[in-house]
Amino acid sequence: MSVYFTRSAFFVRLHNSLKSVLDVDPAQCPIPATVFSDANTLIPYQEITRWYNDVERLSGNADYMLEFKHLIGIDSIGWFGEWLLSAPDNILAFRRFNYGMPYMQSGGSFYAMYTGNRNIVKWMHKSYSLTKRARFHESVYNVLLMLDFLKKATQNQFELQLIRISGSSDDPDKYKKEFNCDVEWNSPTTEVWFRTTDLLATAHHFDIISDSSCPLLGQNLLENIDKLLNMPRPNDEIKELYELTYYTLHFGLPKADKVAEILNISTQTLRRKLQQKLNLNFTDLSAYITTNAAVNLLIKGVHPKDVSAKLGYTHEGSFARQFKKYRGVTPLKYYQAHNDKKLGS
């Protein structure tokens, strides 16, 4: 079992624009609105697959991703996008994209290859998605993202040679017109081909990479890097189970049947897997994750009463008892210790 994740930053604009762009009610989609309140939230690929498929069904538009082209870009992924283009040159920026993106989404890999005479770069994305239609929508999304990177990195001074897309469309001419180059279909990988010399342009003069335009890089750098590190690596089942259960906090207190539903396994199989992999039952895993989430809120100055309600506890006393059991102190003492320290008292 492998669970892949992507960060909500990639979908915040799309989800929030469903009504205006496609006349689709976001509430009809499977992902709760709270997921998009933090751009670093990890969303399981199974949920993204459902989102892709539901949007196509609800909109009646099999090529809907093109309608979002103005919303898909490097600037949509916040400080991480700024960091990508803060490199001293385009080749290093390109390298940052390929090596840094796995920390933003674990469901695929970006890499580059040269053609035989080395004058063309084949920029590729290999998806781990198993669902045909979801892989198609993801492929179009990634083409748009890759093209936006090239536009910003070269100030739109690049020569697009070829695009390869996973899956197919009933309106292929629409894509050829949109991208102004040949498009090949049913490719095992998403590919954007451009001239090797296009990356030689300097990136120093971009507005996006000036220090003054990247306040988040200095202001929240450590916190953001910490958040990046929670992306599970492929086949790390322990981390995957942890982050998957953490994700279900958006639906209320974690429940084994919700986690099992996302994994498409029975609750009995889930409990057996937890016992085998972690020597842990779901109650303990849930409590560990919930108290970790509580800690993150308490140290930010959120009062224990509000933390209890935010996490979905019916009674504050239940929250306090569980927190003390797994943290050794009451949430109030934890809150006071950390926030008094911030105030210097």
CATH code (residue 152)? 3.90.1520
Global pTM value: 0.83
Domain end residue (candidates: 201, 219, 245): 201
Count Cα atoms within 13 angstroms, Cβ side, for 332: 5
Say whether pLDDT at 345 is over 50: no
Biggest alpha carbon–alpha carbon distance for the chain: 69
Domain end residue (candidates: 154, 182, 201): 201
**Inside any domain, residue 244:** yes
Give burial (CB, 10 Å; 0-12/13-18/19+) of 93.
buried
**Inside any domain, residue 229:** no
Tokens of 7: 């960060």
List the single range of 83-87, 131-135, 324-328 with lowest mean pLDDT.
83-87
List the single range of 34-48, 77-91, 112-126, 194-208 with lowest mean pLDDT.
194-208
CA-to-CA distance for 236 and 41, rounded, in angstroms? 18
Same domain, 11 and 123: yes
CA-to-CA distance for 33 and 150, rounded, in angstroms? 31
- Count of domains in the chain? 2
Residues sharing a CB contact under 8 Å with residue 259, sequence separation 6 or more, in sequence order: 241, 244, 245, 248, 270, 282
**Please, which pLDDT band fits residue 222 given cuts at 50, 70 and 90?**
low
Q: Which SS3 state, helix, strand or coil, does residue 122 take? A: strand
Give burial (CB, 10 Å; 0-12/13-18/19+) of 341.
exposed
Same domain, 122 and 243: no
| Parent domain of 289 | 236-344
Say whether pLDDT at 342 is over 70: no
**Inside any domain, residue 217:** no
Task: Report which listed range, 163-177, 203-217, 219-233, is most confident.
Answer: 163-177
Span 325-341, mean pLDDT? Answer: 86
Share of the chain above pLDDT 70, in %: 90
Say whether pLDDT at 219 is over 60: no
pLDDT at 207: 43
State the chain's mean pLDDT as an integer: 88
Same domain, 272 and 182: no
**Inside any domain, residue 109:** yes
pLDDT in tens, 181-193: 999 999 999 999 9
Q: Which is it for strands 182-184 and 160-164: parallel, antiparallel or unpaired?
A: parallel
pLDDT in tens, 286-305: 999 999 899 989 988 999 99
Same domain, 260 and 189: no
The CATH number that applies at residue 332 is 1.10.10.60
Which of the pair, 208 or 56, is modelled with greater confidence? 56
pLDDT in tens, 59-75: 999 999 999 999 999 99
**Inside any domain, residue 143:** yes
Same domain, 194 and 241: no
**Inside any domain, residue 224:** no
pLDDT at 212: 39
Same domain, 110 and 193: yes
CA-to-CA distance for 142 and 131, rounded, in angstroms? 16
The DSSP letter of residue 35 is G
Share of the chain above pLDDT 90, in %: 63
pLDDT at 14: 97
List the single range of 37-41, 145-149, 335-339 with lowest mean pLDDT.
335-339
Say whether pLDDT at 213 is over 60: no
Same domain, 136 and 241: no
